[in-house]
Homo-oligomer: A and B are copies of this chain.
Amino acid sequence: MRHILFIFIIAFSIQSINAQKATWIYYPGDFEIWLGNEMQNRRTERGTFFPPFWKMDSHYVLVEFSKKLDLTQPEEVQIYAEGRYNVKLDGKMISGYPTTVTIPAGKHSLNIKVHNQANVPAIYVKGKTVQSDNTWQVTFEDKEWIDESGKASDTSSGTVYLNASSWNFDSPENTPSKFKLATEPMSAVKSEKKNNGTLIDFGKETFGFVKFHNLKGKGNLNIYYGESPEEALSTESCETLDRLTIDNSNAKDLTINDSKAFRYIYIEKDNSLSYDSVSMLYEYLPLDYRGSFRCNDALLNKIWDISAYTMHLTSREFFIDGIKRDRWVWSGDAYQSYLMNYYLFFDSSSVTRTMLNLRGKDPVTSHVNTIMDYTFYWFMGVYDYYQYTGDKTFIEQFYPRMQSLMQYCLSRTNSTGMMEGLSGDWVFIDWADFKMSKTGEVSFEQLLFCRSLETMALCAKLVDNTEDSNKYTSLANNLKSKLFTAFWSGKENAFIHNRENGVQSEQVTPYTNMFAVLFGYLDQDKTNAVKHNVLLNPDALKITTPYMRFYELEALCMLGEQNYVLKEIRDYWGGMLHEGATSFWEKYNPNEKGAEHLAMYGRPFGKSLCHAWGASPIYLFGKYYLGVKPVSPGYETYTIEPNLADLKWIEGKVPTPNGDIYVYCDTKQIKVKSDTGIGKLTVKSKSKPACKDAVINPKGSNTYEVEIQKGKEYTITYKAL
Q: Which residues of A contact B (CB under 8 A)?
A: 34, 37-38, 41, 45-56, 58-62, 84-86, 93-97, 113, 115, 117-118, 140-146, 148-151, 153, 156-160, 362-363, 365-366, 370, 404, 422-426, 431, 600-603, 606
Contact = CB atoms under 8 A, between A and B. Distances in A.
Nearest to A243: B96
Contact of A115 (B49, B117, B149, B602): B49
A301 to B, nearest CB: 33
B362 A363 contact: yes
B55 A424 contact: no
Contact of A85 (B49, B144, B422): B49
Sorted nearest first, the 5 A-B pairs with minimum C-beta distance are: A158-B424, A150-B602, A158-B423, A118-B118, A58-B58
Given A56-B62, A86-B50, A602-B149, A118 B115 contact: no
Contact of A425 (B51, B55, B96, B158): B158
A148 B424 contact: no
A362 B364 CA distance: 10
A171 B115 CA distance: 31
A49 B118 contact: no
15 contacts: A37-B115, A41-B62, A48-B86, A48-B97, A49-B84, A49-B86, A49-B115, A50-B93, A53-B141, A55-B60, A56-B115, A56-B140, A146-B601, A148-B601, A149-B601
Contact of A61 (B53, B58, B601, B602): B58
A53 B145 contact: yes
B95 A47 contact: yes
Contacts of A34: 117
A369 to B, nearest CB: 9
A97 B44 CA distance: 11
Given A41-B62, A48-B93, A93-B48, A424 B143 contact: yes
A45 B158 contact: no
A363 B365 contact: no
Given A56-B61, A148-B601, A141 B365 contact: yes
Contacts of A606: 150
Given A37-B117, A363-B363, 18 more contacts: A38-B117, A48-B93, A48-B96, A48-B97, A49-B85, A51-B84, A55-B60, A55-B62, A58-B59, A146-B601, A148-B600, A150-B602, A150-B603, A156-B423, A157-B424, A158-B422, A158-B423, A159-B424
A156 B48 CA distance: 26
A47 B96 contact: yes
A195 B38 CA distance: 55
Contacts of A53: 141-145
Secondary structure class of chain A's binding surface, majority of residues: loop
A145 B422 CA distance: 15
A56 B121 CA distance: 13
A65 B718 CA distance: 69
Contacts of A151: 602
Nearest to A587: B148
Contacts of A422: 158
A386 to B, nearest CB: 25
Given A143-B424, A157-B423, A56 B60 contact: yes
Most buried by B among A37, A62, A431: A62
A370 B145 contact: yes
A157 B366 CA distance: 11
A34 to B, nearest CB: 7
B141 A54 contact: yes
A58 to B, nearest CB: 4
Contacts of A159: 424
A144 B58 CA distance: 21
A159 B156 CA distance: 40
Nearest to A85: B49
Contacts of A149: 601-602
Given A148-B601, A423-B156, A426-B153, A115 B54 contact: no
B143 A370 contact: yes
Nearest to A600: B148
A426 B86 contact: no
Contacts of A140: 55-56
B156 A93 contact: no
A143 B366 CA distance: 9
A430 B59 CA distance: 34
A15 to B, nearest CB: 27
Contacts of A366: 141, 143, 158
Nearest to A46: B95
Contacts of A157: 423-424
Contacts of A145: 53, 370, 426
Contact of A94 (B48, B96, B150): B48
B51 A115 contact: yes
Nearest to A160: B365
Contact of A62 (B51, B160, B363): B51
Contact of A45 (B50, B93, B404): B93
A140 B362 CA distance: 14
A491 B242 CA distance: 84
B48 A95 contact: yes
Contacts of A148: 431, 600-601
A57 B314 CA distance: 32
Contact of A84 (B41, B46, B60, B601): B41
B41 A115 contact: yes
Contacts of A84: 41, 49, 51
A35 to B, nearest CB: 11
Most buried by B among A49, A144, A159: A49
A5 B244 CA distance: 58
A460 to B, nearest CB: 20
A47 B94 CA distance: 10
A563 B610 CA distance: 83
Given A148-B601, A158-B424, A366-B143, A113 B54 contact: no
A437 to B, nearest CB: 14
A95 B140 CA distance: 41
A117 to B, nearest CB: 6
A376 B150 CA distance: 25
A497 to B, nearest CB: 18
A134 B54 CA distance: 23
